[in-house]
Homo-oligomer: A and B are copies of this chain.
Amino acid sequence: MRHTLSILVENRFGELSRIVGLFSARGFNIESLSVAESMEPDVSRVTLVTTGNEHAIEQIARQLDKQVRVLVVEQVTEVKHVERELMLIKLRADSGEQRHKALSLALLFGARAVDLSADGLIIEATGEWEQVNALGEMLKPLGVVEIVRSGRVAMSKVSRESSESGGQ
């Protein structure tokens, strides 16, 4: 089963290395990882997606929680949450018709062009993993040359009272 962990950690040398190492030492593959500043100075937010059985994830979450520099560990998958990803897609669309097709598809997905030239364009899309995946696949026949994804970020929903109903 896929799990998303959201971790607040003091931003010190080696701390990220320790967290990532904890997963690889136990044979967990990290599917996606995002690390960026949080609202607090010197505190980073780590969003990590991994697969494994619930018991093993529980264990690793507890172990993370024990580390001095780790402030909060949240298993986002266990509550109602929003999960989003950013994707940049570069297309070498060198005819006006191809560019038009690509832009029309992007529009359908609520995506937009962030770079446009006579040689092609870069489209920015956000959405759930499956959504951005689908757009990437649909654009491929138009000449996708590069895709860069942010990895997933997740946030528990505003009304958490109803979280017992599970999942999003």
A157 CA to B39 CA, complexed, in Å = 31
Closest CB of chain B to A112's CB: distance in Å?
A: 8
CB A125 to nearest CB in B, in angstroms, measures 9
Residue A35 at the chain B interface, CB threshold 8 Å = yes
- Judged by a CB distance under 8 angstroms, whether A122 is at the interface is yes
Task: Give how many copies assemble into the complex.
Answer: 2
Q: Mostly helix, strand, loop or mixed at chain A's interface? A: strand
Say how far A41's CB is from chain B's closest CB, in angstroms: 13
User: Does B158 lie within 8 Å of A90, measured CB to CB?
Assistant: yes
Give complex CA distance A92, B159 in Å.
10
Question: A residues within 8 Å of B by Cβ?
Answer: 6, 11, 13-14, 16-17, 20-21, 23-24, 27, 29-39, 45, 47, 82, 84-86, 88, 90-92, 114-122, 124, 126, 144, 146-155, 157-159
